[in-house]
Structure 1
């Protein structure tokens, strides 16, 4: 199989047009069309079909393109190893939920890379569905997704369907965080009725499309109507919580160092159960690098410190 042909079909999918792809690849459209037909003949399935929107992958084509992208990403990484001194280079990419324990682990991980002469590192905080799609498209190597435990029977089949590997997971109960000056911090017992008096801060883009009514009923208690503030950036939530004593937020357990820095406290809620799971995902063909494993070591260490 010609690797150049793989790059051709990936470019056609990206642009949705053979004409545009040919221009981007600096080649003639007839030659590109011929190369695609040769590849389709070789694999035995049509990769693209024409639609009102242009050229789109067939169902089998989508599956083929996912493997093609993974192969090309691995090939590029392999070539990079021999262009630079691997001992002096760190490459790492991660999509993550807005989780302070993960970003804390990331900063500790960065400190371990301080002796590297070259670094190519990118991280992005986003929701679970965008993380899944971006890892499938090979835009990032690793992703951490978060979901309520009631949604697990939705997410695990989805990850299998997308040919994604699940390497690591952490199941925990949400905790409440609030200003250290909040009256809520002094409550002896925190119940749903007590929380009705306060303002809940939520992330506004943690949506899960195509969730059926069955799943929605399972987690109906997770979305009780209250006074809400929707935020889309993690720094904003800490500013609001610190400055507005009536506000609170449900989060994964946080490192004490961050709580102290932001003037916040966290409370566990034995009377309110909100169990979640954070799961590390990546392409099934991807092999964790030394740098990846270094980050996972720090992640595990931070988790252990929180749960002690």
Structure 2
């Protein structure tokens, strides 16, 4: 039995969508559908059925997926034993949100590793639900999740349900990220209403445990933006902001090096439900290694670099 198919089934379980799972796995949807059918034929029972809530596991499928998670976790542990057989290896795996201060902290951490020793780093920028799944499956040792504070009860319940430990990193208000050439750049104060006629750049895969997109809309932030650009990675957001001065983003505070590189500014702006929180998550009982502590030190140094500034 091909254990790669286990990974495919776990992704479908998480996303409740063959199409979305195929996107996350970087494969064609028909190929994923065929792989799931082959797995079901091998097992002799259907793993999933379609419902009004999307693609959900059958009773037998749910039992199979429980074992699939365990098998993938054990395979990952075996892989880590192989990686660590050379005592000189510097191995670190983490999933993080698309936050610039976090990426900056990771870069500083990576730059301080010993170049004379073998390096095995794996960093994935993704949404909070994917990060939780990566930690559960053993794809990442640590994770950082970000959520709107209004959704905190849902995330706390979900983390406890999944038996994951967590520690707060910080709570902050999102800032506006704009080109220096944006029409609002020099305005003394910017309100949410001022943004209505400009184009917002949004990360398009945000999810909240237990809530559908329709339910999340009930927690609206009071913004009435008609034009949006949806992104699923962080890199070209800066190019877009620089090249299209009428665009803007809501972001966690950004380090000055990136602002200067792309001729951007960040401004405070009052808006409903604008508080967000970042948490470090990891399996219960996880023993932090020196390399983990090294990353955490750089993470908090990067956070402090942007947290103690005043934003107008």
Q: Shift in Å at residue 163 of structure 1? A: 1.6
Q: Give the gaps of 5 or more residues in structure 2.
A: 10-42, 49-56
Aligned position for 1:25: none
C-alpha spacing 1:247/1:80, structure 2 compared with 1 (3 Å): closer
Aligned position for 1:180: 180
1:279-294, aligned counterparts within 5 Å?
279-294=279-294
Instruction: Tell me the alpha carbon deviations over residues 101-148 of structure 1, each in whole angstroms, 9 at most, x when there is no partner.
Output: 111111100111043410111111111111111211111111111111
Structure with more of its chain in helix, by fraction: 1
Instruction: Tell me the alpha carbon deviations over residues 161-211 of structure 1, each in whole angstroms, 9 at most, x when there is no partner.
Output: 112111343211000001111121111221122111211111122233641
Q: Give distance in 1, aligned partners of 2:180 and 2:105.
A: 24
Q: CA RMSD for the aligned pairs? A: 3.0
Aligned position for 2:19: none
Q: Secondary structure at the match of 1:221?
A: coil
1:263 maps onto 2:263 in alignment: yes
Report the number of matched residues: 265
TM-score for the superposition, normalised by structure 1:
0.75
Q: Secondary structure at the match of 1:183?
A: coil
Task: Answer yes or no: is the 8 Å Cα contact 2:175–2:267 preserved in 1.
Answer: yes
* Larger deviation, residues 206-215 vs 58-67: 58-67
Larger CA Rg, structure 1 vs 2 = 1
Q: Give distance in 2, aligned partners of 1:13 and 1:244.
A: 43
Q: Give the gaps of 5 or more residues in structure 1.
A: 1-7, 17-48
Aligned position for 2:54: none
1:88-167, aligned counterparts within 5 Å?
88-167=88-167
Aligned position for 2:228: 228
C-alpha spacing 1:186/1:293, structure 2 compared with 1 (3 Å): same
Task: Answer yes or no: is the 8 Å Cα contact 1:70–1:286 preserved in 2.
Answer: no
Q: Shift in Å at residue 215 of structure 1? A: 5.1
TM-score for the superposition, normalised by structure 2:
0.74
Aligned position for 1:53: 47
Task: Answer yes or no: is the 8 Å Cα contact 1:89–1:116 preserved in 2.
Answer: no
Q: Shift in Å at residue 307 of structure 1? A: 1.5
Q: Shift in Å at residue 286 of structure 1? A: 2.5
